[in-house]
Structure 1
């Protein structure tokens, strides 16, 4: 608005200078305006980009669903290398499951929708990788494998299934938290603290199992199996605490049901971490 009088004067000057008819005057005015506007905005591109990303959050956090390591040409040419590629993709799938568990825990703690959305994205990626890796391993089973490769192939199928089930459980947890929020159900401070502690115990043990798989580390695998016993004990302890709170009238019925469902999902995630650790031990005997 401040420069509009100057712009109008400039257009009038150009009309008189070049003897422009009305149609040409409009065209020149339009072109001059666009060039001037572009020149002015050029110096503020960085500021505009910053403002837009603040007002409209981007999609930078989207998960890459595509496989990266599965080359079907290797299956016939070198089944052993194909198995190793399947292992790399399985490790990538496990890393996604780790991320999903972390996001689900954050959702439980602060109930911010972005963490629920991230968990759902991760679960979809895990499901996609499960299908692709399973298809790839099925094709590998049609070629000749050594005894060791056959054993590794079978254990890898089991591990992929375990990781996929972890994805299902973290999705269940998010759905239960959704219900807590929807029903405005409140947990007691004791219940919340115990649940977060079990979440951290389970998440860290799954991460330990994945690390054991990455490094083919027997010691880490054995530690994972030991901690799984602690997770089972925690599950029993939390159920007993829940019954006590119900009897004392300290727990709402809706929140109590959802609390137990989340505890059950965490315990099952612990079981799958245990299975992964056992596969590591079997592969490294």
Structure 2
């Protein structure tokens, strides 16, 4: 404080510490006059006091600014050496909730700013938003995989289910927003190529929403299984996880295609091969389920939940390949 006082007194208009004493020396009438009237309306003595008052006022402003600046500089100079210590303290005091993600709320990242000056840029925004949309849907699939492989008596099970439903609601809203945005873009003058591009994005958006619905449907099957207090046998879990592994490969291809916005013949055949494998796997598991039920390897109730989940996985594979096939095929 003394340093600030000395600097402002030496280089500024007055000593800010003397302002209080100066104001105390004024009568209420004098103070009112010098703070409300112009110089032409004041006597010579009051003009002098008004000038002094303005000098003190300026000095006080400079002093406060200088004090604030020096305070921050001193703070940084001292605390910069203890950043890691503060980090550890904060992490111990404010523990992040397990499983919490950054995108728990409905927020569009690319098309919230409105239609751009050219249709091509607007379509590019929609493409990027669709890629984000697909990532959300895959996070839902991640929830489903965790729910399948955890004890349904675990408190985290219902938390994951609630997050799954929340994400499903977000995905529904994203579909509407992206579709409405592209509808507005299509009202402008577009080339035939741009119109076809918009149709492809709209088809992809619809299929991604169906993927999200499938994830939520699997979650509901698992919740009904929990309410029935049913427990899957190890071989059922292994078979379901093998379906999930195939879907993970399909998801990876879909996200890569959405990022590049085009697909080669080789990539398309690879994706179609994965989808075909998923179909074959579902048929094999369906047939094997009948045999296992006849041999009483598990309960009929477990077999129903098992087949419901397997069938939903197969439908999800269909939706994923539909997204991939919606994009333009480029030559190898």
TM-score when normalising by structure 2: 0.66
- Output the CA distance in 1 between the equivalents of 2:223 and 2:242: 20
Shift of residue 45 of structure 1?
11
Q: Note if 1:125 corresponds to 2:170.
A: yes
Find the residue that maps to 1:225 and give its secondary structure: helix
- Cα-Cα RMSD: 2.4
Q: Deviations over 1:9-61 (max 9, x none)?
A: xxxxxxxxxxxxxxxxxxxxxxxxxxxxxxxxxx999758634537x769555
Distance 1:195 1:57, change over 3 A: closer
Q: Find the partner of 1:50 among 59, 84, 92.
A: 92
CA contact (8 A) 2:115 2:185 kept: no
Q: Greater CA deviation, 183-192 or 233-242? A: 183-192
Q: Deviations over 1:119-139 (max 9, x none)?
A: 233222221211110110111
Q: Which runs of 5+ in 2 are unaligned?
A: 1-84
- Output the CA distance in 1 between the equivalents of 2:252 and 2:280: 19
The residue number in structure 1 matching 2:76 is none
Map 1:46-195 → 2, pairs under 5 A: 47=89, 50-51=92-93, 53=95, 61-70=102-111, 71-74=113-116, 77-111=117-151, 112-113=156-157, 114-195=159-240
TM-score when normalising by structure 1: 0.76
Q: Note if 1:217 corresponds to 2:257.
A: no
Find the residue that maps to 1:110 and give its secondary structure: coil
Q: Which runs of 5+ in 1 are unaligned?
A: 1-42
Q: Greater CA deviation, 45-54 or 269-278? A: 45-54
Distance 1:92 1:262, change over 3 A: same
Distance 1:89 1:44, change over 3 A: closer
- Output the CA distance in 2 between the equivalents of 1:265 and 1:161: 17
- Output the CA distance in 1 between the equivalents of 2:325 and 2:199: 13
Q: How many residues align?
A: 239
CA contact (8 A) 1:93 1:163 kept: yes
Spell out structure 1 runs of 4+ moving beyond 6 A: 43-46
CA contact (8 A) 2:214 2:312 kept: yes
Q: Note if 1:227 corresponds to 2:258.
A: no
The residue number in structure 2 matching 1:239 is 286
Shift of residue 99 of structure 1?
1.3
Q: Deviations over 1:204-230 (max 9, x none)?
A: 212211212212332333311111000
Q: Deviations over 1:232-254 (max 9, x none)?
A: 00010110111111111112122
- Output the CA distance in 2 between the equivalents of 1:58 and 1:217: 34
- Output the CA distance in 2 between the equivalents of 1:168 and 1:280: 22
CA contact (8 A) 1:87 1:156 kept: yes
